[in-house]
């Protein structure tokens, strides 16, 4: 029997075929999950729908994670169609480009608030929305982080602070929701060529540094992260919650 036979999974954050969330979705589909996807605007919808259709999925919904009403509408529709959610993938992050190019000390107040809202608070908002659909049978929630949450990474700036808040939110949510059989974890992935990564200055140099220095002497792949995500989203990790696990070819263990 497949790991996700008869189970429902909601995916936030597929922007195109290079998205980490898309790699996770493919693995979930292979293991029998029924999927639903969200998009934030029409440009993302145009790229997402053909991908979803390639997996035989017609559950594609608008959801701006900064809009509480859209979140409520999403869960209302899914509740009516599915009645439950077994797994939730949160792969959502954003910061203004200017706040990644300037010195961190020059981060704007509005830019700081935006990065924390989209990249960290959104996990709390979508977890709260999913709670009524996970209460009966429990469920798993997985989010995506990065090493910049724990260490200073050049040009990551306010996004590093947002990811730090995200990882802390994982722990607090895990403590809150554990009694309801809901597990919350994070994967801190190494750098991957995604749409979001394209906004980080000198990202190509960052990839080169990871490849040269990581113990495995290569960059992490979309498939690497997807396979580890499958572990966290399935019952194979039934005794694990509140954790952030590095999937970065070992780069995080290194000193200078």
* Residue 44 covered by a domain: yes
Q: Using alpha carbons only, how large is the chain's radius of gyration in Å?
A: 17
pLDDT in tens, 149-190: 999 988 899 999 999 999 999 999 999 999 999 999 999 999
CATH code (residue 89): 3.40.50.720
Strand pairing partners for 87?
9, 140
pLDDT in tens, 45-73: 999 999 999 999 999 999 999 999 999 99
Q: Which two tokens stand for residue 121?
A: 């608070």
* Residue 1 covered by a domain: no
200 has a pLDDT exceeding 80:
no
Asked if 138 and 80 touch (Cβ cutoff 8 Å), the reply is no
**Would strands 60-62 and 244-247 be described as parallel, antiparallel, or unpaired?**
unpaired
Global pTM value = 0.94
* Residue 98 covered by a domain: yes
* Residue 256 covered by a domain: no
Helix count and strand count (H, E) for the chain: 9, 7
Does 156 participate in catalysis according to the annotation? Answer: yes
The structural domain count of the chain equals: 1
The catalytic residue among 156, 232, 246, 251 is 156
Q: Which two tokens stand for residue 149?
A: 């949450």
* Residue 255 covered by a domain: no
| % of the chain exceeding 70 in pLDDT | 96
Distance CA 184, CA 214 (A): 27
* Residue 252 covered by a domain: no
Segments forming the whole domain that contains residue 217: 8-247
CA distances from 62 to 53, 75, 165 (A): 16, 11, 25
* Residue 239 covered by a domain: yes
* Residue 15 covered by a domain: yes
The catalytic residue among 146, 232, 246, 251 is 146
């Amino acid at each position: 029997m497949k790991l996700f036979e008869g189970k429902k999974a909601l995916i936030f954050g597929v922007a195109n075929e290079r998205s980490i969330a898309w790699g996770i979705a493919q693995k979930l589909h292979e293991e029998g999950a029924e999927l639903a996807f969200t998009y934030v605007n029409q440009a993302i919808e145009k790229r997402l729908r053909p991908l979803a259709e390639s997996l035989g999925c017609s559950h594609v919904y608008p959801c701006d994670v900064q809009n509480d009403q859209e979140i409520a509408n999403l869960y209302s529709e899914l509740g009516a169609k599915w009645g439950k959610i077994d797994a939730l993938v949160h792969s959502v992050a954003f910061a203004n480009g200017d706040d990644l190019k300037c010195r961190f000390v020059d981060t704007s107040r509005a830019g700081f608030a935006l990065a924390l809202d989209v990249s960290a608070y959104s996990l709390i908002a979508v977890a709260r929305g999913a709670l009524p659909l996970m209460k009966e049978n429990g469920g798993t929630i997985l989010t995506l982080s990065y090493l910049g949450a724990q260490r200073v990474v050049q040009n990551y700036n306010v996004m590093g602070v947002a990811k730090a808040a995200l990882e802390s939110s994982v722990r607090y949510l895990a403590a809150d929701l554990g009694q309801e059989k809901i597990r919350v974890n994070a994967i801190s992935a190494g750098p991957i060529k995604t749409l979001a990564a394209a906004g980080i200055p000198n990202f190509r140099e960052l990839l080169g540094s990871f490849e040269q220095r990581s113990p495995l002497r290569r960059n992490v792949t979309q498939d690497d992260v997807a396979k580890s995500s499958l572990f966290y989203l399935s019952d194979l990790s039934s005794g694990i919650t509140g954790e952030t696990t590095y999937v970065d070819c070992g780069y995080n263990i290194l000193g200078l």
